[in-house]
């Protein structure tokens, strides 16, 4: 009886701005990327770290579009980016081990094979993409963990004042890649 006498309340509809969290992360990584590019003195060894941060930015945007707005057509791009990131992480840190410039690496193009394999799977046989990504992350994660296991002295080309922070970054990267496998 009481419910019949109460008038419904009509609240105005207010549109809220929706910014997915990965976009915020991408913006912060973009600031870091700009700072890295500004400080890069033509050092070719930093090329892979710069590319890694750029791919993190791109991957964050893709994840934000996928999960924030429900765009499933971007899934193939997400899978290819997922295959590129571990290889870039490995190339970034292994460059600090031996000090060779990226152009002097004889097997550099081998690290493009995981991404090319994912592209082939997307085009011809999508079923094993998840398993392939797990194996890619597992392989590069184990390689990064082995490099981290060697200790900070293995990062011979790292600056002396930054070797401990670089070593911690290597450990965190190895853990992150292994945990995604």
Give pLDDT, residue 98: 72
Predicted pLDDT of residue 152: 73
Q: What is the pLDDT of residue 134?
A: 96
- pLDDT (0 to 100) of residue 45: 57
pTM exceeding 0.85? no
For the cut 90, the answer to whether the pLDDT of residue 46 exceeds it is no
Check residue 47 and give its pLDDT.
84
pLDDT for 50 beyond 70? yes
Please report which residue ranges of 18-162 form alpha helices under DSSP H.
Answer: 21-39, 46-63, 69, 75-98, 113-124, 129-149
13 three-state secondary structure: coil
The arithmetic mean of pLDDT across residues 156-174, rounded, is 73
* pLDDT in the model for residue 125: 93
- Which three-class secondary structure state does DSSP give residue 46? helix
Q: DSSP assignment, residue 65?
A: I
Per-residue pLDDT tens digits for 78-132? 999 999 999 999 988 887 777 666 657 778 888 999 999 999 999 999 999 999 9
Asked if the model's pLDDT at residue 6 lies above 80, the reply is no
Residue 141 neighbours by CB under 8 Å, 6+ apart: 86, 174, 177, 178, 180, 181
Tokens standing for 48? Answer: 């892979």
The DSSP element (H or E) to which 164 belongs, if any, is helix 163-179
Give me the pLDDT at residue 3, please. Answer: 59
Rounded to an integer, what distance in angstroms lies between the CA atom of residue 91 and that of residue 62? 23
pLDDT at position 7 is 63
Residues 50-76 as b or e (16 or more Cβ within 10 Å = b): bbbbbbbbbbbbbbbbbeeeeeeebeb
Give me the phi and psi of 107, to 5 degrees please: -110, 30
- For residue 128, the tally of other CB atoms under 10 A from its CB is 13
Q: What is the DSSP letter of 17?
A: -
Residue with the larger pLDDT of the pair 112 and 170: 112
* Least-confidence region, from 60-74, 110-124, 159-173: 159-173
Cα(131)–Cα(45) distance, rounded to whole angstroms? 32
């Amino acid at each position: 009886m009481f419910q019949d006498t109460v008038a419904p309340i009509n609240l105005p509809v207010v549109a809220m701005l929706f910014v997915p969290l990965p976009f915020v992360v991408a913006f912060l990584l973009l600031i870091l990327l700009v700072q890295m590019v500004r400080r890069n003195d033509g050092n070719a060894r930093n090329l892979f770290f710069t590319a890694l941060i750029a791919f993190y930015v791109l991957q964050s945007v893709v994840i934000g579009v996928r999960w924030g707005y429900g765009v499933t057509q971007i899934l193939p791009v997400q899978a290819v980016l997922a295959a590129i990131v571990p290889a870039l992480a490995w190339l970034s840190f292994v460059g600090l081990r031996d000090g060779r410039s990226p152009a002097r690496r004889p097997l550099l193009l081998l690290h493009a094979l995981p991404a090319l394999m994912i592209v082939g799977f997307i085009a011809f046989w999508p079923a094993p993409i998840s398993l392939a990504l797990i194996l890619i992350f597992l392989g590069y994660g184990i390689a990064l963990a082995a490099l981290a296991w060697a200790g900070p002295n293995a990062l011979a080309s790292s600056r002396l004042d930054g070797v401990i922070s670089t070593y911690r970054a290597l450990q965190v990267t190895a853990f992150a890649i292994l945990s995604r496998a």
